[in-house]
Structure 1
Amino acid sequence: MKALVSVLLMLALAGCSTGLRIDRNHPSANHDNRIQFVVLHYTNASLERSLALLTHGEVSAHYLIGDGPATVYQLVDENRRAWHAGDSQWQGRTWLNSSSIGIEIVNPGFDDTANGRVWYPYSEAQIQSLITLLKDIVKRNGIEPRHIVGHSDIAPLRKLDPGPLFLWKRLADAGLGIWPDASAVAREQAYFSANPPTIGWYQQELARFGYALEQTGELDVATRHVIAAFQMRFRPQRFDGTPDAQTAAMLQVLNRMR
């Protein structure tokens, strides 16, 4: 008898679950795509090691671009969250794993030698594959070009990738990013050379651009790291974290572009 009651109860519950009716005739206009950003990385490892780490390690990414040939590997579906950004922040959004697509590029990163730090370049094939991939991602997800960022942008106190040899201007020329106009920078640089801004100004403008930065008014360690991250992206010839007129000019021009 108890067995019969249990069977009847299970059938009743199954009937309730299959009888659910959902009215989808009133869609809300108040929504957007979950994916707001694309974050670019280097792997600091070989292709074989990168595939192992990104498929069976503690980190992951949606895409991996190999080296020689620059094959594009999809490792995580774009609708799923990959573990590539970690503790991160950009334009007020935190923990960007939940709102971004991560792209890893096979590249050794750098070596520290007796003659200083040596950075490794990206191949032309890798850049071409990346541009093609980004154009597809941006179009399908409606991502703004300025929301294509580096790991060093969203985590400047702990990350350096994709590094100073990454070709940000090539991406901007392809409509996949922003880049300051050289003539506008020259005009602003002349002004800032005669009128150096305060550290508070740098902190305010860097935060306006997107970086997470406490407004202390002091040239502290965090501020130097953020300035260095900005310089590494837009002036890779020198990214020592020291504020100067050219850095201020680039920052001013880029924020006016927004």
Structure 2
Amino acid sequence: MSKLLPLVALTAAVSLLSGCATVAPAGPRIDKSLTARGQSERIKYIILHYTVADLPRSIKILTQQDVSAHYLLTDTDQPFFYALVDESRQSNHAGLSSWKIYNQLNSASIGIEIVNPGFTETAQGRVYAPFKQAQIDQLILLLKQLVARYNIKPENILGHNDIAPQRKQDPGPMFPWKQLADAGLLAWPEASRVGARLPLFTEQLPDVAWFQRKLAQVGYATPQTGELDQATRNVLVVFQSKYRQSLYDGTPDAETAALLDVLTSPVPELPAPAAPTPAPAPVPASAALPRSTSSR
């Protein structure tokens, strides 16, 4: 019996030590000491929407259905954002969409829904609802943060109708895009340049193919048929409702041509001023006197 005690003690000690041993975690061994040069932010676009619903219904739709957004901006007296989807995750807000050479923008964008009833059909035609100024003030604050965080280019802050002109109207012609431009968030056609081009296009309006090429150059998915078909008119309506909100009937007119031409033409760089010619060094007074021929 006494001989068994040391064996029992040894077994217990081994068992205790084995329980304290560190077990290697299951999974791959990853070294994060290196960083690839060829990479960029996943988020490249911000897409703006209106909800076409009041706040309670907007919350229900965006939290209990398949459609979603990263942020929901309320229409309360003091508007604020609900953060519904983490920025690191994809939300389902853009749907079938394209801009320039990119398609299916859900995976590369942040979606912001703004509580707004959208439009109503009346005997005088479709009437769009305005946005509260307090909403726009809050929106600009968030946009500036997102632009700084993800280095988003001005041409990539867009409306749902920009990326889906054949099926979407939001955020509509009452959305104050010019305020975003004034806040430094997106490019805007300079009025003086538009005015300078307007007489040229009034005298000679470009053909439909020119409008289609220019709209595609801005970024819109536009037919390149040379025909003023309904799809081309739809794109023109979206463009006009953003940059010329006084008239957005889809007609390719001179003012629309001037706006398109300015947006797709780089601002000419002014020549650098010539370096001033250096003034000659002053001549000492003694050097200016003639030498004396006297032997003295």
- Residues 106-161 of structure 1 show CA distances to partners (whole Å, capped at 9, x for unaligned) of 00011001232211100010000000010011110110122100001000000000
- Alpha-carbon distance change, 42 to 257 in structure 1, aligned in 2, over 3 angstroms: farther
- Which of 149, 166, 172 is the equivalent residue of 1:140? 149
Question: Which residue does 1:78 correspond to in 2?
Answer: 87
Aligned-pair distance for 1:49?
A: 0.3
Task: Kindly report which structure 2 residues correspond to 1:196-207, keeping only aligned pairs within 5 A, or say none.
Answer: 196-207=205-216
Matched, 1:152 2:171: no
Contact 1:156–1:226 (8 Å) recurs in 2: yes
Question: Which residue does 1:41 correspond to in 2?
Answer: 49
Aligned-pair distance for 1:188?
A: 1.0
Contact 1:46–1:107 (8 Å) recurs in 2: yes
CA distance, structure 2, for counterparts of residue 119 and residue 257 of structure 1: 33
Task: Kindly report which structure 2 residues correspond to 1:183-198, keeping only aligned pairs within 5 A, or say none.
Answer: 183-198=192-207
Matched, 1:217 2:231: no
Question: Which residue does 2:67 correspond to in 1?
Answer: 59
Question: Which residue does 2:131 correspond to in 1?
Answer: 122
Task: Kindly report which structure 2 residues correspond to 1:8-47, keeping only aligned pairs within 5 A, or say none.
Answer: 18=26, 20-47=28-55
Which residue identity lines up with residue 92 of structure 2 in the other structure? W
TM-score normalized with structure 2 length: 0.80
Question: Which residue does 2:285 correspond to in 1?
Answer: none
CA radius of gyration, larger in: 2
Runs of 4+, deviation exceeding 6 Å: none
Structure with bigger helix share is 1
Matched, 1:177 2:186: yes
Contact 1:92–1:212 (8 Å) recurs in 2: no
Aligned-pair distance for 1:92?
A: 1.2
Identity rate of aligned residues, in percent?
52
CA distance, structure 2, for counterparts of residue 61 and residue 70 of structure 1: 17
Higher relative contact order (CA 8 A, sep 6+): 1
Which residue identity lines up with residue 171 of structure 2 in the other structure? P
Aligned-pair distance for 1:27?
A: 1.5
Contact 1:62–1:101 (8 Å) recurs in 2: yes
CA distance, structure 2, for counterparts of residue 33 and residue 244 of structure 1: 39
CA distance, structure 2, for counterparts of residue 133 and residue 102 of structure 1: 12
CA distance, structure 1, for counterparts of residue 265 and residue 24 of structure 2: 58
5+ long unaligned stretches in structure 2: 1-22, 268-296
